[in-house]
Structure 1
Amino acid sequence: MEMVIRDMVIEDDSPSVLQIINQFNNEPISLETFKNNHNTYNHSPIIKRVVLELNKRIIGFGFVVSETPNIPPGFLFEKIFVDKHYQSQGFGRIIESVLWSSVIDAKPLGIQSIINEGDLKSKKWAEKYAFIVKEVQFESVLDLSTHSLTRIEDKLNQHEKNGLTFKTMKHYPGDEHFELLCELFRTLLKDSPDCNGTEMGKDMAVSLLKTFKEENIILAIIDNRWIGMTVLFNRNKNEIYNFFTGTIEEMRGNGIATALKLKAISKSIPMGYIRMRTNNLSTNYPMLSVNKKLGFVQHPGKLILTKQLVWS
Structure 2
Amino acid sequence: MTVIVRALRPDTTADVEGFVRVRHRALPHVLFTARSVRHDLSHADPDAHVRTLVAEVDGEIVGTAQIGLVHDSPEPGQGFLNVYVDPARTGRGAGTLLTRTAEEHLAAHGATKLFAWVLDEPGNRAFAERHGYRASRRAHFLVLDLARAELPPLQDPPPGVELRTAADFADDPRPLFALDAETASDEPGDIDTELSDYEAWLAQTWRHPLLDHELTSVAVADGRPVAFSAARTDGARTYTTGMTGTARAFRGRGLAKLVKNASLHRARAAGYTRAHTGNDADNAPMLAINSWFGYEIHASEVRHVRELG
Report the TM-score range of the alignment, normalised by the length of the smaller protein.
0.7 to 0.9
- Structure 2: how far apart are the matches of 1:40 and 1:288? 33
Distance apart, 1:147 and its partner CA: 4.6
Distance apart, 1:55 and its partner CA: 2.8
Matched, 1:306 2:305: yes
2:160 to 160, 163, 187: 163
Distance apart, 1:125 and its partner CA: 0.8
- Structure 2: how far apart are the matches of 1:133 and 1:222? 41
Distance apart, 1:11 and its partner CA: 3.5
Distance apart, 1:76 and its partner CA: 1.3
| Higher mean displacement: 242-251 or 183-192 | 183-192
Q: Is contact 2:26-2:85 (8 Å) kept?
A: no
Matched, 1:9 2:9: yes
Q: Which residue pairs with 2:128 in the alignment?
A: 126
Under a length normalisation based on structure 1, what TM-score does the superposition of the two structures give? Answer: 0.85
Pair 1:140–1:5, CA change in 2 (3 A): closer
Matched, 1:187 2:182: yes
Q: Which residue pairs with 2:212 in the alignment?
A: 213
Q: Is contact 2:3-2:92 (8 Å) kept?
A: no
Pairing 1:281-292 to 2, within 5 Å after superposition: 281-292=280-291
Distance apart, 1:279 and its partner CA: 0.5
- Structure 1: how far apart are the matches of 2:54 and 2:235? 24
Q: Which residue pairs with 2:50 in the alignment?
A: 47
- Structure 2: how far apart are the matches of 1:169 and 1:198? 24
- Structure 1: how far apart are the matches of 2:196 and 2:52? 20
Task: State the percentage of identical aligned residues.
Answer: 18
Gaps of 5+ in 1: none
Under a length normalisation based on structure 2, what TM-score does the superposition of the two structures give? Answer: 0.86
Q: Which residue pairs with 1:223 in the alignment?
A: 222
Distance apart, 1:229 and its partner CA: 1.4
Pair 1:294–1:148, CA change in 2 (3 A): closer
Pairing 1:1-312 to 2, within 5 Å after superposition: 4-12=4-12, 13-27=15-29, 29=31, 31-32=33-34, 34-35=36-37, 38-39=40-41, 42-43=44-45, 45=47, 46-67=49-70, 74-117=77-120, 119-147=121-149, 152-153=153-154, 155=155, 157=156, 159-160=157-158, 162-174=159-171, 177-194=172-189, 196-200=191-195, 202=197, 203-206=199-202, 207-211=204-208, 212-235=211-234, 237-310=236-309
Pair 1:239–1:129, CA change in 2 (3 A): same
Gaps of 5+ in 2: none
The letter for the 2-side match of 1:10 is: P
| Higher mean displacement: 279-288 or 135-144 | 135-144
- Structure 1: how far apart are the matches of 2:102 and 2:114? 12
More helix by share: 1
The letter for the 2-side match of 1:138 is: H
Tell me how large the CA RMSD over aligned residues is: 2.8
- 1:145 is paired with a residue whose SS is coil
